[in-house]
Amino acid sequence: MLKIAVIMNNYFHDLATALLITSAVTVYYFAKTAEGSEDPAVVRYFIETYRRLTILGRGAFAWIILAGIVRIINFKAFEWSDAMGKNLIPALIVKHIMLFSAVFGGIYFWRKLNRKVNALKQAYRVQEAKEEAAFITSP
């Protein structure tokens, strides 16, 4: 039973890593679309999407950390010995380099996105204020 639990933990750990990077890349491309749009509805939609995907990304990152602890504790017994028996140590090393790169890539994208979103929010507030002022002063 423990072996199945560890295997599932490792699977969901890898899945969370993929979720972190793909959600970051997705929001990054949404941000490019929102930046080029003059439609306030598009910007509002992007800001709301960003907020929700940020929650998803933070959850994925938390799971990466928590499941990573379990994975490290059980690494030698479940992954290392299995890889040694099948002469897959180089593949295991490459896999972990790719996973670390994906996590750090996800963090990089989220930080970059945060700056973009803050700029978009500021521009959106300015645009909203102009529209409100025009509405108030119109006859």
- Does 139 fall in a domain? no
Supply the mean pLDDT for the chain.
81
- Does 126 fall in a domain? yes
> Is the whole-model pTM more than 0.85?
no
- Does 123 fall in a domain? yes
- Does 138 fall in a domain? no
> pLDDT at position 92, please?
78
| Dihedral of the alpha carbons of 45, 22, 108, 61, in degrees to the nearest 10 | 100
3-state secondary structure of 121: helix
Query: What is the domain range of residue 82?
Result: 2-131
- Does 33 fall in a domain? yes
Rounded CA separation 18/102 (Å) = 7
Query: Count of CB atoms within 10 A of residue 50's CB?
Result: 21
> pLDDT at position 71, please?
86
- pLDDT tens sequence across 22-78: 888 888 888 888 877 778 788 888 888 888 888 988 999 999 999 999 988 987 777
Number of domains in the chain: 1
C-alpha dist (Å) from residue 49 to 44, 52, 61: 9, 5, 18
Query: Is the distance from CB of 20 to CB of 106 less than 8 angstroms?
Result: yes
Query: Is the distance from CB of 46 to CB of 97 less than 8 angstroms?
Result: no
Rounded CA separation 139/135 (Å) = 8
- pLDDT tens sequence across 33-47: 887 777 878 888 888
- Does 29 fall in a domain? yes
Cα angle at 116 between 114 and 118, to 5 degrees? 70
- Does 116 fall in a domain? yes
Q: Which residues contact 126 (CB under 8 A, 6 or more apart)?
A: none
